Amino acid sequence: EPEVTQTPSHQVTQMGQEVILRCVPISNHLYFYWYRQILGQKVEFLVSFYNNEISEKSEIFDDQFSVERPDGSNFTLKIRSTKLEDSAMYFCASSATSAPGELFFGEGSRLTVL
């Protein structure tokens, strides 16, 4: 069964360092998303991406965040200068269409900022 894969599963970084989280969405999907879940809190929408550009973003997704699809298979989230409050589980998701169907989620990348 096709699945969304994410790497790394866990990354520890120092405050102020740049982090790149990687995702490989399901191959025929066209819409891509990043969500995050701070420990014990709700799953929060960060950004959606379609046709090589951001289609929606939340207030959380400020200038410190960026996304790109560099090679037609990977979908990356970059945090330019990490802060302590960026520590969270980051989930990538993809969907085949813009119709209101399910999103397929990866297993997440846990980011710990020290």
> Which residues, numbered 18-37, are part of the site for other proteins (CB under 8 A)?
31, 33, 35
CB of 51 to other proteins, least distance (A): 12
Alpha helices in the chain (DSSP H): none
* Contacts for 63-67: CB closer than 8 Å, 24+ residues apart: 67/32, 67/34
How are beta strands 109-113 and 31-37 bridged, if at all?
Answer: unpaired
* Range 85-106 burial, b when 16+ CB lie within 10 A, else e: ebbbbbbbbbbeeeeeeebbbb
- Residue 12 sits at φ, ψ, to 5 deg, of -110, 130
Total residues interacting with other proteins, rule: CB under 8 A: 27
For position 107 contacting other proteins by CB under 8 A, the verdict is yes
Among 12, 15, 17, 56, binds other proteins (CB under 8 A): 56
Among 54, 73, 101, 112, binds other proteins (CB under 8 A): 101
Among 7, 17, 55, 81, binds other proteins (CB under 8 A): 55
Which residues of this protein are in contact with other proteins, per CB under 8 A? 4, 31, 33, 35, 41-45, 48, 50, 55-56, 58, 91, 93, 95, 98, 100-108
